[in-house]
Amino acid sequence: MNQSLRFFRSTPVLPGFSLSFGISTLYISLVILLPISALLIYVSGMTWAQYWFAITDVRVLQSYKVTLLGAFYSTVAVTAIGFLWAWIITRYDFPGRRLMDSLVDLPFALPTSVAGLTLSTLFIPTGWLGQFFDAAGIKISYAFPGIVVAMIFTSIPFIVRSVQPVLEDMEKELEEAALMLGANKWQIFWRVILPTLVPALIAGSSQAFIRSLGEFGAVIMIAGNIPFETEVTSLMLFVRLQEFNYPAAAAIASVVLMASLALLFLLQLVQSRLFNQTPRT
């Protein structure tokens, strides 16, 4: 018995572990580690004063504010919309359900620049949707709301695909037991369903927020790129590159990179500390 346990502990469960691990390490090195190393090399050639000046320029600071506000508003909206979308395609059966399910991944398949151009055309004052907002005095394209709309479009799959499998795997017996105990539909939702979905909602919304921080193609096509009003941080990177100021672009990129990594590590910490704790006996 002990020998068999030792065998399973010393032998990898998946076949070809060494080969798969080597390929994964090579992929991570080429796609992630090397670009980050090149970024750090550019930044290391700057003095602290030069680095601080590059990341605290007035125009750059305003781009941080625009990006953070746009990402925050879009994450709030996309969390609500994505949750409803996942709920509908999971809990109901209706004509066109599979089409609606497949449309969730459209932002992943569609180039972001094409998405931004399409959205800007739809939401201009004479566009199909923009004419209704224009009648109410609301400007979408080439204004700050356009940034939020573009970020919503590109980040909504993260919410839907995080919540959908949890809803599909949720045991119906829990809802039936709560119903038999006298709970109404709202009580079942708030006390049985929603607590189970909280980890997925946090993971999906965090990924959506991080995705919005680095959005470029869709945003620049609809934002108008007005200095101090609708310029996002990714656009400032492009501006610095157009000016051949590569160290400044690398410095701004390092800020975005550190913010994204910090949020990812925080997300992992929250998930491991709050949602993966084993109950004490």
Q: What percent of the chain has pLDDT over 90?
A: 38
Give the chain's domains with CATH numbers.
Answer: 46-274 (1.10.3720.10)
Structure tokens at 20: 């798969």
pLDDT exceeds cutoff 60 at 60 = yes
Please give the pLDDT value at position 191.
85
CA separation, residue 121 to residues 12, 124, 217, 225, 244 (Å) = 54, 6, 15, 16, 32
pLDDT, tens digit, 9 for 90 and up, residues 111-150: 888 999 999 999 999 989 999 999 999 999 999 999 999 9
Q: How many Å from the N-terminal Cα to the C-terminal Cα in the chain?
A: 29
pLDDT of residue 53: 92
Query: Which helix (DSSP H) or strand (DSSP E) does residue 98 occupy?
Result: helix 97-102
Number of other CB atoms surrounding residue 202 within 10 Å: 17
Q: What is the pLDDT of residue 171?
A: 79
